């Protein structure tokens, strides 16, 4: 079963706009990670945020974590056509012995 629920399931924006994706989870976590998957490819790790962190930045990516609400968001600023992909959150749950549990993903389409 999958712990993460992502919202929206699909998002279509114009190049230059910001894209925000949300992830909710159910149990306490050690960390939460975001991955990107281009069509027909494997997943690529983007960013990790620990349970004691509230916000993290990496280039055009900004991740927030609210452990009281068991939710996270991924913001991609100034989006590019090359950002078109599926984005998955994955939780490293405290009681799962190091297992990552993935959400169902958000499919992002950035139109030039």
Partner 1 sequence: EAGVVQSPRYKIIEKKQPVAFWCNPISGHNTLYWYRQNLGQGPELLIRYENEEAVDDSQLPKDRFSAERLKGVDSTLKIQPAELGDSAVYLCASSLDRRTNEQYFGPGTRLTVT
| Interface positions with partner 1 (CB under 8 A) | 2, 4, 30-31, 33, 35, 40-45, 48, 88, 90, 92, 97-105
- Could you tell me the smallest distance in angstroms from the CB atom of residue 64 to partner 1? 18
Both structure tokens of 77: 């600023």
Pairing of strands 106-111, 10-14: parallel
20 vs 104 by CB, closer to partner 1 = 104
36 vs 70 by CB, closer to partner 1 = 36
What region, left, alpha or beta, does residue 78 occupy, with left being phi > 0 and alpha being psi -120 to 50 degrees?
left
């Amino acid at each position: 079963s999958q712990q993460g629920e992502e919202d929206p399931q699909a998002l279509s924006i114009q190049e230059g706009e910001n894209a925000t994706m949300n992830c909710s989870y159910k149990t306490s976590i050690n960390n939460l990670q975001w991955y990107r998957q281009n069509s027909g490819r494997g997943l690529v790790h983007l960013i990790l945020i620990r349970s004691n962190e509230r916000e993290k930045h990496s280039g055009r990516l900004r991740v927030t974590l609210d452990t009281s609400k068991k939710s996270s968001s991924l913001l991609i600023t100034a989006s590019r056509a090359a950002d078109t992909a599926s984005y998955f959150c994955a939780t490293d749950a405290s009681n799962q012995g190091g297992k990552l549990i993935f959400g169902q993903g958000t499919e992002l389409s950035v139109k030039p």
